[in-house]
Amino acid sequence: MKIRFIYNLFAFVALTLLLVGYSAGPAAEQGQGYIGAPGELGVSCGTCHGNPGSYGIVTVDIQAFNNGNPVNTYLPGLSYDIVVTVNNTASNPAGFGFQAVALDGNNDNAGSFSDPGTNVHIVNLSGRDYAEHDGMSASRSFSFKWNAPAPSVGTVNFYAAGNAVNGNGATSGDSGTGTTPGRLSLAPEGALPIELTNFTAKQYFNSVLLSWATETEENSDYFAVQYSKDGFNFETLDEVNAAGNSSTLINYNYRHLNPIEGNNYYRLIEVDFDGQETISEIIVYRIEAIDGDVVHAYPNPIIDKTSLLIRHEGNLNYNTTLRLFNVSGQLIHMEDLVLMPGENTIELDMTNYPQGYYYLKVRGGDLGKKPLKLLKI
């Protein structure tokens, strides 16, 4: 990894020449990664600066911190402090430089870098975020933040290389890391101790219905339903009781009544009876404003009962009729309704109906324009 210096002759004092060095880092200046990470050219800092060189063997340590505590796992959406420290085994260098990248199991960029510390900047190079020195640093430690990706990304590997330099404006007399870079691996913080399937979001009027199912559960206490407007800062909306222990399919639903227009971010934290917590992937749902009278049902497919959500845009109560047809078009259920302005919830019991498709119509206004298709399973 080559550090280039721009010299400025700014004063003559007692015939002394003072030199000031600067380098923007190899990713910025040369468009290259010199870490020795997968997918690079196979060269490293030591290729140019010498290995072991004048300052002995150079190694790099990488650590991740959350609120000052070192970690070896990550939660999606959280921001972690990454500290890269360049170490040498001989003499006293004038300064240090480094370069770092975070990759997934396919050697693609994993997460994103931000908030570079002193003498650090971030460069996006060929779809990868590189953190590197932004000038020769008197400190051997460099810091920046890493924003963690979804747990589906899997284990994330950080690679970093560094050099110790004498500040003479050339690569001679320096030391750099060899072809084996420093490495730190962070795994997602545990898979759910349940078989979680079908975590989805769907718009119902101006709200979002979250649905998920479990195939098996063991020692599960409840699900904390979490929400974020930006994908990073999450808050708990509510807690949904879990089954505890189960080996059969169980469906869960939660309706978020106050999403924002645009992107909304959701995740689940499953909490065991012993207090252990694990987290789901993040799902993103974009909600648009709803106009007019609308009918929805959840859950759908239906095991026994479903809730009909009927939105009435009028200013007065509205008398209407609900009709349910089987797939042959036969009317099998009918009831009169009085809808109030706004959103109405009507419970529909389908316990005694056989499995199959059904069509529901609510007569009047926009409500009856298109039948609602239901599936009994």
More confident residue, 67 or 1: 67
pLDDT category at 9 given cuts 50, 70, 90 is very low
Q: How confident is the model at residue 366 (pLDDT cuts 50, 70, 90)?
A: very low
Q: Answer whether 0.75 is exceeded by the pTM.
A: no
Q: Quote the pLDDT of residue 42.
A: 78
- Give the pLDDT band of residue 293 (cuts 50, 70, 90): low
- 24 or 279, greater pLDDT: 279
Peptide bond into 52 cis (omega under 30): yes
In whole angstroms, give the CA distance from residue 189 to residue 192: 9
Q: Bigger pLDDT: 52 or 115? A: 115
Residue 264 has pLDDT above 70, yes or no: yes
State how far the Cα of 123 lies from the Cα of 33, in Å rounded to an integer. Answer: 10
Q: What is the pLDDT of residue 8?
A: 33
The dotted CATH code for 191-290 is 2.60.40.10
Map out the domains of the chain as residue ranges.
12-188, 191-290, 291-377
pLDDT at 10: 30
> Using 50, 70 and 90 to split pLDDT, how confident is the model at 22?
very low
State the architecture of 12-188 in CATH terms. Answer: Sandwich (2.60)
Q: Is the dihedral of CA 42, 43, 44, 46 positive or negative?
A: positive
Query: Is residue 330 pLDDT above 60, yes or no?
Result: yes
Residue 15 has pLDDT above 90, yes or no: no
Q: Are 346 and 362 in contact (CB under 8 A)?
A: no
Omega before 116 cis (within 30°)?
A: no
Q: Give mean pLDDT, residues 105-123.
A: 94
What is the per-residue pLDDT for 23? 65
Residue closest to 317 by CA, chosen among 294, 290, 344, 295: 344
pLDDT of residue 190: 58
255-261 mean pLDDT: 86
What is the band of 75 on the pLDDT scale with cuts at 50, 70, 90?
confident
| 3-state DSSP of the chain | CCCCCCCCCCCEECCEECCCCCCCCHHHHHCCCCCCCCCCCCCCHHHHHCCCCCCCCEEEEEEEEECCEECCEECCCCEEEEEEEEEECCCCCCEEEEEEEEECCCCCECCEEECCCCCEEEEEECCEEEEEECCCECCCEEEEEEECCCHHHCCEEEEEEEEEECCCCCCCCCEECCCCCEEEEEEECCCCCCCEEEEEEEEECCEEEEEEEECCECCEEEEEEEEECCCCCCEEEEEEECCCCECCCEEEEEEECCCCCEEEEEEEEEEECCCCEEECCCEEEEECCCCCCEEEEECCCECCEEEEEEEECCCCCEEEEEEEEECCCCEEEEEEEEECCEEEEEEEECCCCCCEEEEEEECCHHHHCCCEEEEEC
Q: Report the pLDDT averaged over residues 61-69.
A: 91
340: amino acid identity, one letter: M
pLDDT at position 266: 93
Q: What is the mean pLDDT of the chain?
A: 83
The rounded distance, in Å, linking the Cα atoms of 135 and 132 is 9
Higher pLDDT, 17 or 135: 135
CB 102 within 8 A of CB 112: no
Residue 290 has pLDDT above 60, yes or no: no
Mean pLDDT of all residues in 186-206: 73
Q: For residue 359, report the phi and psi dihedrals to the nearest 5 degrees.
A: -125, 130
Domain 291-377 sits in CATH 2.60.40.10: yes
Asked whether the domain spanning 291-377 has the same topology as the one spanning 12-188, the reply is: yes
Q: Measured between alpha carbons, how far is 66 from 133 in angstroms, rounded to an integer?
A: 23
Alpha carbon distance 163, 178 (integer Å)? 10
User: How deeply is 178 buried, as exposed, middle or buried, from its count of CB atoms within 10 A (0-12, 13-18, 19+)?
Assistant: middle
Contacts of 92 (CB under 8 A, 6+ apart): none
User: Is residue 4's pLDDT more than 60?
Assistant: no
Looking at the predicted structure, is the pLDDT value of residue 289 above 80? no
More confident residue, 9 or 296: 296
> Could you report the per-residue pLDDT of 226-248, keeping only the tens digit for each?
999 888 888 999 999 998 888 88
pLDDT digits (tens, 9 = 90+) for 197-225: 788 888 776 778 899 988 888 888 999 99
